[in-house]
């Protein structure tokens, strides 16, 4: 009864935020982060577009089949989609699944066609299929396009440089909380490649229960673009004892970490990731990273400022003018070294002051508010 009452109260708060003028995007983000996330797919259909600042009254037309003739990516997308059987609900009739797979191909090709600066990567379809199953093909096309030009942008560069750079945040986070785990992994020379599929699919490829996948998508859509790497870190930290009990060699540790448990305590891990983001913001971990201003995190402030301008069922179009600094890019090895050798000062002071179990509501609010402060300042122009 208590659970039902809490759920009803949360549903009411979500609809109150949706009906506010302007829409209370900050409240929607808190609802998406807090326990249980957005609760149902019906609610996600209404809230996900608001979190991504997508106007549901002005959706692009469904793509035509001619896209397949013109796309250089069609064959690879086709192969990946054919391998995606386990991403569909068990027991779904074959004919229904085949229709969805065709829609999945079309959504991906449509986004790539409209955004030639984006490059397809294996694993992208794992993200797209999640949106397709929750909101349907037409809305999925609009949401995935916005997501691809913002949160996922770094994974869709011509090279993996930015993706590797984001992975470089993993070890410093672990180091701040459990230096013994960090040092063990360093001695094992395991690197961070075990977390690559987690990061670039938002865990969609590695989690078998669709409910857990959409719960994480609620969380990630409401947060800073680097939150998935914080969540990856809390998974490693959660398995601390398993890691330390493992043989200290690359093969053993990589095998252990790449086999992600399916029975993770998702709500407590989400809370912990939010806590760590507040305690160790990206700006602290990236001070020595010369490319930090080139990742998707850089435009998050602009993205957020535009999203709060939404009116009920309408959005403002936004354009971002980026000013890239003229600093030379450091080589990847130097960048990694500079992050990994960051002094550990203040870590224990912070942990003592803030604790590891900040109330989720407070952490969620801090994540939403402070993300704006940590992103570099860019000129923002909004056009009605």
Q: Across residues 62-84, what is the average pLDDT?
A: 86
**Residue indicated by tokens 């609009």:** 142
Tokens of 156: 């869709």
Maximum average pLDDT range among 167-181, 306-320, 322-336, 363-377: 167-181
Cα-atom radius of gyration of the chain, to the nearest Å?
21
Let me know how long the chain is. Answer: 384
Residue 322 confidence (pLDDT): 37
Residue 355 confidence (pLDDT): 35
φ/ψ (deg, to 5) at 321: -110, 110
Residue 179 CA from chain centroid, whole number: 25
Tokens of 188: 């094992």
Neighbours of 112 (CB within 10 A): 23
Residue 65 vs residues 68, 69, 109, 140: alpha-carbon distances, Å: 6, 8, 10, 17
Dihedral sign from CA coordinates of 23, 29, 34, 36: positive
Give helix 74-82 / helix 124-135 axis angle, nearest 10°. Answer: 70
Categorize the per-residue pLDDT at 305 as very low, low, confident or very high, splitting at 50, 70 and 90.
Answer: low
Residue 99 vs residues 94, 178, 367, 373: alpha-carbon distances, Å: 9, 47, 39, 44
**Lowest model confidence (mean pLDDT) among 22-26, 27-31, 211-215, 340-344:** 340-344
- pLDDT 10s digits, 89-98: 888 999 999 9
Tokens of 275: 């806590």
More confident residue, 173 or 364: 173
φ/ψ (deg, to 5) at 311: -105, 160
**Lowest model confidence (mean pLDDT) among 16-25, 70-79, 316-325:** 316-325
* β partners of residue 321: 379
Residue 229 confidence (pLDDT): 96
- pLDDT 10s digits, 116-169: 999 999 999 999 999 999 999 999 999 999 999 999 999 999 999 999 989 999
Domains observed in the chain:
1-155 (1.10.8.1310), 160-309 (1.10.472.80)
Q: Is the pLDDT of residue 53 over 70?
A: yes
Residue 302 confidence (pLDDT): 57
Residue 383 confidence (pLDDT): 24
Model pTM score = 0.78
- Are 50 and 310 in contact by the 8 Å Cβ rule? The answer is yes
């Amino acid at each position: 009864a208590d659970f039902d009452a809490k759920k009803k109260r949360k549903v009411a708060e979500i609809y109150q935020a949706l009906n506010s003028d302007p829409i209370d995007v900050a409240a929607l983000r808190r609802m998406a982060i807090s326990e249980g996330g957005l609760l149902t797919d019906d609610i996600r259909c209404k809230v996900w577009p608001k979190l991504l600042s997508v106007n549901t009254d002005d959706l692009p037309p469904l793509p035509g089949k001619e896209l397949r003739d013109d796309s250089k990516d069609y064959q690879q997308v086709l192969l990946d989609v054919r391998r995606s059987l386990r991403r569909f609900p068990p027991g779904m009739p074959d004919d229904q699944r085949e229709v969805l797979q065709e829609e999945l191909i079309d959504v991906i090709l449509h986004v790539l066609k409209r955004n030639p600066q984006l490059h397809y990567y294996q694993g992208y379809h794992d993200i797209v299929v999640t949106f397709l199953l929750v909101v349907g093909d037409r809305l999925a096309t609009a949401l995935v396009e916005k997501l691809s030009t913002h949160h996922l942008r770094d994974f869709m560069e011509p090279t993996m440089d930015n993706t590797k750079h984001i992975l470089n945040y993993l070890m410093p986070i672990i180091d701040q909380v459990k230096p013994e785990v960090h040092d063990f992994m360093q001695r094992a020379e395991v690197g961070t490649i075990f977390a690559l599929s987690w990061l670039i699919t938002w865990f969609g490829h590695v989690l078998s229960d669709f409910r857990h996948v959409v719960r994480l998508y609620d969380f990630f859509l409401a947060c800073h673009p680097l939150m998935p790497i914080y969540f990856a870190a809390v998974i490693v930290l959660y398995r601390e004892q398993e890691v330390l009990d493992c043989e200290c060699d690359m093969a053993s540790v990589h095998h252990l970490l790449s086999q992600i448990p399916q029975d993770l305590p998702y709500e407590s891990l989400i809370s912990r990731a939010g806590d760590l983001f507040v305690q160790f913001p990206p700006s602290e971990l990236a001070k020595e990273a010369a490319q930090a201003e080139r990742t998707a995190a850089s435009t998050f402030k602009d993205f957020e400022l535009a999203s709060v301008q939404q009116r009920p069922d309408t959005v403002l179009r936004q354009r971002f003018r980026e000013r890239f600094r003229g600093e030379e890019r450091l080589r990847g090895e130097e960048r990694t070294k500079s992050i990994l050798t960051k002094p550990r000062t203040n870590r224990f002071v912070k942990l003592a002051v803030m604790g590891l179990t900040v109330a989720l509501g407070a952490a969620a609010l801090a994540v939403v508010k402070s993300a704006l402060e940590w992103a570099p300042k860019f000129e923002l122009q909004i056009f009605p």
